[in-house]
Structure 1
Amino acid sequence: MRFGWQLSLVCLLSFSCLVLADVKQQEVSNLTNTFQIQPTTCVSLHQGQACFVNLTLSWHTANKGNYCLYSSDQTSALKCWMADNQGVMVQEFNTAQSLHFYLKQDKSDDVIAAAELEVSWVYKKQQKSRLSWRLF
């Protein structure tokens, strides 16, 4: 019985340390803005051909606000979120060149986060045509 209150105190302190560690971890993860796209690469058969991809774009910011998602191939916003600190968008893209995506705060040109969809191909374009005539 003599050690009962000490054991209770140790358990209480251990639990509070675990709770504080969890809160500390959440605070650290909320300090940064994250922006992810999946997949990050789109593959076409031949260089110069368009590739087709169903892209998932997700983001998270430390503060709630009005945010819009933009791409390098168009000037208007792809999608906007109002009074939010996270969002997800799924959309099909077809492109022959790499695309850059930007998360911006509404009414601002400051880029909060960015990601790139890289386009690659299985076969590179040949430099010369195989059907060339030689005089000598």
Structure 2
Amino acid sequence: MSFKRLIPLLGILLNVGWLQSADAQVKNSLNFRLGLTPNKCVALRKGRECFATVEVKWQVPDVGNYCLRRQSDKLQITCWRGQAQGEFLYVFRSHDKEVLNLVSENSGETLASATINVSWVYKSKRRKGRWRMF
């Protein structure tokens, strides 16, 4: 196949790819959204508790009753009634990562999830017990 024939074919493929990505953007704009800022908490040492104030923002296509719930123990953190979007300041305190779910209060269905990751600056060093005479 010559290079001259390849150029129109490449143009068609690029246009099809562009149409597919535009279609995906439309579908994504209709989805449920749950955002966390910041979504990472940094502790000084590995294994230590991490503390952060996390801004939670969510948006759904339909007005309804929604709750923010912690996935690990199903603890209901807060709820909104007759809303299609909302904000909340969540006080995060944990050793491990935590997943938050946006749940429909009526059906109990999880609509969106977001994770707060925990990392650390230093690995914990365990000191070896050495015998000393003096």
Structure 1: which 4+ aligned runs deviate by more than 2 Å?
72-76, 128-133
User: Any stretches of 5+ residues in structure 1 without a counterpart?
Assistant: 1-27
Q: Within 2, Cα distance between the matches of 1:120 and 1:99? A: 12
Residues 50-65 of structure 1 aligned to structure 2 (within 5 Å): 50-65=49-64
Q: Within 2, Cα distance between the matches of 1:107 and 1:62? A: 16
The AA in structure 2 aligned to 1:98 is K
Whichever of the two has the greater Rg, that structure is 1
Q: Within 1, Cα distance between the matches of 2:71 and 2:38? A: 17
Partner of 2:87: 88
State the aligned residue count. 107
Partner of 1:7: none
TM-score by length of 1: 0.70
The AA in structure 2 aligned to 1:131 is G
Residues 21-32 of structure 1 aligned to structure 2 (within 5 Å): 28=26, 30-32=29-31
The AA in structure 2 aligned to 1:68 is C
Shift of 1:125: 2.6
Return 68-77 or 111-120, whichever deviates more. 68-77
1:42–1:119 Cα contact (<8 Å) kept: yes
Percent of residue pairs bearing the same amino acid type: 30
Partner of 2:5: none
Partner of 1:122: 121
Q: Within 1, Cα distance between the matches of 2:33 and 2:74? A: 22
TM-score by length of 2: 0.71
Question: RMSD of the alignment, in Å?
Answer: 2.2
Q: Within 2, Cα distance between the matches of 1:102 and 1:52? A: 20
